[in-house]
Amino acid sequence: MTDTPPDRLSVNPKSPHFDEAALQRGVGIRFKGVEKTNVEEYCVSEGWVRLSVGKSVDRLGNPLTMKMNGLVEPYFRDDAVAEG
C-alpha cells in the first residue's frame, strides 16, 4: 500500500469509491485546516467533502450529508502517530 491516501474515498460499502484496506488502515481528514471526524466521502482533486449532519438519517437509513468545498488534506492515522 502507498503512503498517500486515495484521491477519493467513501465509507459507504455500496459506493464505487469504497476502499476497505484504506479505511482499516485509518484515514484522517483535515478540511480547511480543521480536523473532521464526520466525513462520509471526500475528493482531493475536486476539493470537497461530504459531512454527516448530526444523527439524522434518510428513509433508507443512510446519514444525511452536506457537501462542502475547500482544501482537503487526507492522511493515514498510523503515520500521524509515528510522527508525533
List pLDDT tens digits, range 27-66: 999 999 999 999 999 999 999 999 999 999 999 999 999 9
61: Cβ contacts below 8 Å, ≥ 6 apart: none
Residue position matching grid coordinates 510522527: 83
pTM: 0.85
The total of other beta-carbon atoms located within 10 Å of residue 59's CB is 5
Written as nine digits, the cell of 72 is 482537503
Strand segments, DSSP code E, in 5-47 are: 8-10, 27-31, 34-36, 39-43
Mean pLDDT over each residue of the chain, to the nearest integer: 91
Please, which pLDDT band fits residue 78 given cuts at 50, 70 and 90? confident
